[in-house]
C-alpha cells in the first residue's frame, strides 16, 4: 500500500512540508528561514516575532486558525507578553538554532558556523577511522574511496551504504505473513514473536494477580504460556505429533526458525506445519483471554480439537480435492 500511495504523496502533502517527501529536501526549510528573517534587523519596520513551535505530536489538536492569525499578526510588546503568559514558549534572542543550524537576522559570521563545522569535522574523522579499521591499510582505504567515484562523480549513496549499519534480515515475517495463514492468526503470532502479547508479567505494577490463568501454577509470560505451562505444553505436544513437527519447542522464535529450515516436506505438509503453529498460538491465546475476561474454562482437549478443526478447514479450503490428510 505504501508503494501505491507514494506517487500521490507529492500532491497530497502541502509544499510547506519539505522533509521526508521524495524529491523535496529539508534543506529548503533552512534556506527559507533566513529569507523570512531578512528584514528583522531593520529599525523602521513594525515589531514582529518568529515562533518556533514543534508541531510533531500536536498535529490533530492544533487550532490552525489561531496559528494563521499569529502568523499574519504584527506583534507588539503586549501581544508578546500575552503569548508568553498563556503558553510554555520562552523568548529567545538571535542566534537560535533551527534544524541544528544557527539562525540570525543578518548574515552569519564565521564564528557562528564553528559549532557546525566542528560537528562535521567530528563525523569526517570518525568515518575516516571506521574506513581505516575496516580496510586495514591506508592504501586499501584509498582504493575503497575510488570505488565510490562512479562515472567521474563521487557517489554519496555508495559511501553511505558502506558506513550505515547493516540491518539483520529477519526471516520470520516471511512465515508469519504467508498466504496460507489466516490474517487474525498471523497477527497474534506476529505480536507473540515481537514479544508484544500482553501477558500478565508485562502488566506488573498495574495488576496484582500475575498467575497464569490456564494452569494457575506459575506467573504468566509468553514463554510460560506457550511452552512451560502444563496446559500449553500438552496442547503443543499433541499438535506437534499431529502435524509431524519433531523439534523441541522452547520459544516462538526457535519454533519459527525450525519451521523455516524444515519447510521442505510436500506442499501440504509444510503448509500444515505453518497453519498448525499459527492456529495453536491463536487458540491458546484465545483460551487464556476467555478464562480471564469471560471466566470460561476450556479443557486442553477442547483447545486441541478447536485447533485441529481449524487447521483441517484451512487446508481443505486450500486443497479442496483432498479427501483425507
- Contact predicate 1/14, CB 8 Å: no
Report DSSP letters for 241-268, one per residue.
HHHT--S---SHHHHHHHHHHHTTS-HH
| Smallest gap from residue 284 Cβ to Zn ion (A) | 10
- CA dist., res. 311 & res. 278, Å (int): 9
| Smallest gap from residue 299 Cβ to Zn ion (A) | 14
- Contact predicate 315/275, CB 8 Å: yes
For residue 42, what is the enclosing H or E element?
none
Task: Report CA-CA distances (Å) from 225 to 58, 75, 173.
Answer: 39, 62, 22
Residue selected from 214, 255, 259, 284 as contacting Zn ion according to rule CB under 5 A: 214
Is the CB of 67 or the CB of 216 nearer to Zn ion? 216
Contact string (CB under 5 A) for Zn ion, positions 101-120, x = contact: --------------------
| Smallest gap from residue 62 Cβ to Zn ion (A) | 48
284 interacts with Zn ion by CB under 5 A: no
Question: Could you identify the residue written with the cell 489538536?
Answer: 61
212 interacts with Zn ion by CB under 5 A: yes
197 interacts with Zn ion by CB under 5 A: no
Is the CB of 235 or the CB of 306 nearer to Zn ion? 235
| Smallest gap from residue 172 Cβ to Zn ion (A) | 24
Residue 154: φ, ψ to 5°: -75, 125
Per-position b or e across 29-56, b if 16+ CB within 10 A of its CB? eeeeebeebeeeeeeeeeeeebeeeeee
Is the CB of 213 or the CB of 276 nearer to Zn ion? 213
- CA dist., res. 217 & res. 37, Å (int): 68
Q: Using the rule CB under 5 A, give the single segment among 58-66, 86-94, 211-219, 270-278 that binds Zn ion.
A: 211-219
Is the CB of 271 or the CB of 288 nearer to Zn ion? 288
303 interacts with Zn ion by CB under 5 A: no
- Contact predicate 316/322, CB 8 Å: yes
| Smallest gap from residue 313 Cβ to Zn ion (A) | 27
Residue selected from 215, 222, 277, 279 as contacting Zn ion according to rule CB under 5 A: 215
Is the CB of 262 or the CB of 286 nearer to Zn ion? 286
Is the CB of 215 or the CB of 275 nearer to Zn ion? 215
Question: Could you identify the residue written with the cell 523455516?
Answer: 260
252 interacts with Zn ion by CB under 5 A: no
Residue selected from 229, 277, 304, 307 as contacting Zn ion according to rule CB under 5 A: 229
- Contact predicate 307/280, CB 8 Å: yes
Q: Using the rule CB under 5 A, give the single segment among 128-136, 150-158, 173-181, 206-214 that binds Zn ion.
A: 206-214
Phi-psi region of 38 (alpha: psi -120 to 50; beta: other; left: phi over 0): alpha
| Cα angle: 14, vertex 18, 23; to 5 degrees | 100
Closest CA to 162 of 150, 152, 147: 147
Q: Using the rule CB under 5 A, give the single segment among 53-61, 66-74, 227-235, 247-255 that binds Zn ion.
A: 227-235
Is the CB of 215 or the CB of 235 nearer to Zn ion? 215
Is the CB of 182 or the CB of 238 nearer to Zn ion? 238
Binding site for Zn ion (CB under 5 A): 212, 214-215, 229
Amino acid at each position: 500500500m505504501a508503494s501505491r500511495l507514494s506517487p500521490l504523496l507529492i500532491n497530497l502533502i502541502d509544499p510547506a512540508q519539505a522533509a521526508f517527501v521524495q524529491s523535496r529536501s529539508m534543506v529548503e526549510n533552512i534556506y527559507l528561514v533566513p529569507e523570512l528573517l531578512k528584514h528583522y534587523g531593520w529599525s523602521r519596520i513594525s515589531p514582529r516575532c518568529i515562533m518556533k513551535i514543534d508541531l510533531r505530536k500536536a498535529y490533530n489538536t492544533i487550532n490552525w486558525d489561531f496559528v494563521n492569525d499569529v502568523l499574519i499578526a504584527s506583534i507588539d510588546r503586549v501581544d508578546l507578553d500575552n503569548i508568553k503568559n498563556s503558553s510554555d514558549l520562552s523568548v529567545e534572542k538571535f542566534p537560535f538554532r533551527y534544524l541544528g543550524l544557527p539562525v540570525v537576522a543578518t548574515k552569519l559570521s564565521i564564528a557562528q558556523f564553528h559549532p557546525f563545522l566542528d560537528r562535521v569535522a567530528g563525523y569526517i574523522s570518525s568515518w575516516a577511522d571506521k574506513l581505516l579499521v575496516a580496510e586495514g591499510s591506508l592504501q586499501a582505504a584509498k582504493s575503497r574511496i575510488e570505488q565510490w567515484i562512479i562515472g567521474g562523480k563521487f557517489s554519496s549513496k555508495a559511501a553511505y551504504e558502506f558506513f550505515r549499519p547493516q540491518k539483520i534480515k529477519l526471516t520470520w515475517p516471511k512465515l508469519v505473513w504467508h498466504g496460507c495463514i489466516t490474517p487474525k492468526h498471523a497477527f497474534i503470532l506476529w505480536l507473540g514473536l515481537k514479544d508484544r502479547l500482553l501477558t500478565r508479567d508485562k502488566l506488573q505494577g498495574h495488576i496484582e494477580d500475575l498467575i497464569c490463568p490456564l494452569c494457575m501454577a506459575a506467573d504468566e509470560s509468553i514463554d510460560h504460556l506457550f511452552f512451560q505451562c502444563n496446559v500449553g505444553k500438552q496442547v503443543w505436544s499433541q499438535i506437534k505429533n499431529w502435524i509431524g513437527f519433531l523439534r523441541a519447542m522452547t520459544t516462538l522464535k526457535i519454533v519459527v526458525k525450525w519451521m523455516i529450515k524444515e519447510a521442505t516436506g510436500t506442499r501440504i505438509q509444510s503448509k500444515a506445519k505453518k497453519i498448525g503453529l499459527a492456529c495453536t498460538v491463536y487458540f491458546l491465546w484465545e483460551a487464556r483471554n476467555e478464562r480471564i475476561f469471560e471466566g470460561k474454562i476450556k479443557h486442553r482437549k477442547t483447545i486441541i480439537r478447536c485447533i485441529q478443526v481449524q487447521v483441517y478447514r484451512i487446508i481443505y479450503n486450500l486443497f479442496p480435492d483432498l479427501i483425507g490428510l
